[in-house]
């Protein structure tokens, strides 16, 4: 199944199933949700505008291949698509510094919201569980975004010999 992007903003969309129906939304916490409702279309020309799927930083510089399902309390997230990463998250993942990645993401999310100490601890617990699941389901190292193509989303572009 082709990946879906929003026709309006060209950002990747996330699919949730609710009562058997597919619902396509902007990734949680994306600013686009404040401007418009997503209009899903197939990403057939690789025109997607990637943003880091971990900390929301713009631009993304790489893709972490992930496969399987992440089980969280109250939901299951299908992750058979690579996760976009910014330079900071790429460096932390590549150095196997997953605890530092969790702190970076939490600091980024908390910095953009006014939250209580109880909410911070709850957020950190949920974030830790999510990142541990992503780490378990990662199927390879981060690949540079400029080497990914629709035919070869992870692992590099085939070069023509002239």
Number of domains in the chain: 1
Question: Does residue 157 belong to any structural domain of this protein?
Answer: no
User: In which domain, by residue range, is 109 found?
Assistant: 4-143
**Could you read off the pLDDT of 12-52 as tens digits, one per residue?**
787 777 777 878 887 766 666 667 888 888 876 656 677 88
DSSP the chain: ---EEETTT--BEEEEEETTEEEEEEPTT-THHHH----EEE--S-------TTT--SS--EEE-B-SEEEETTEEEE--SPEEE-HHHHHHHHTT-HHHHHHHHHHHHHHTS---HHHHHHHHHHHHHHHHHHHHHB-S--EEGGG--SS-TTT-PPPPP-
**Does residue 159 belong to any structural domain of this protein?**
no
Asked if the structure places residue 154 within a domain, the reply is no
**Does pTM top 0.75 for this prediction?**
no
Is 69 within the bounds of a domain? yes
């Amino acid at each position: 199944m082709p990946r879906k992007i929003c026709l309006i903003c060209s950002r990747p969309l996330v699919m949730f199933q609710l009562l058997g129906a597919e619902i396509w939304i902007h990734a949680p916490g994306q600013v686009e949700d404040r401007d418009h409702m997503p209009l899903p279309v197939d990403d057939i020309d690789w025109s997607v505008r990637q943003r880091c799927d971990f900390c929301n930083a713009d631009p993304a510089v790489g893709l972490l291949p992930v496969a399987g399902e992440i089980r969280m309390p109250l939901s299951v997230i299908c992750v058979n698509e690579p996760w976009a990463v910014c330079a900071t998250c790429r460096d932390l993942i590549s150095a196997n510094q997953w605890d530092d990645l969790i702190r970076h993401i939490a600091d980024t999310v908390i910095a953009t919201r006014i939250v209580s100490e109880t909410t911070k601890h709850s957020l950190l617990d949920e974030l830790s569980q999510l990142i541990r699941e992503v780490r378990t389901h990662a199927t390879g190292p981060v690949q540079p975004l400029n080497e990914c193509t629709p035919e070869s989303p992870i692992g590099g572009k085939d070069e023509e010999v002239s």
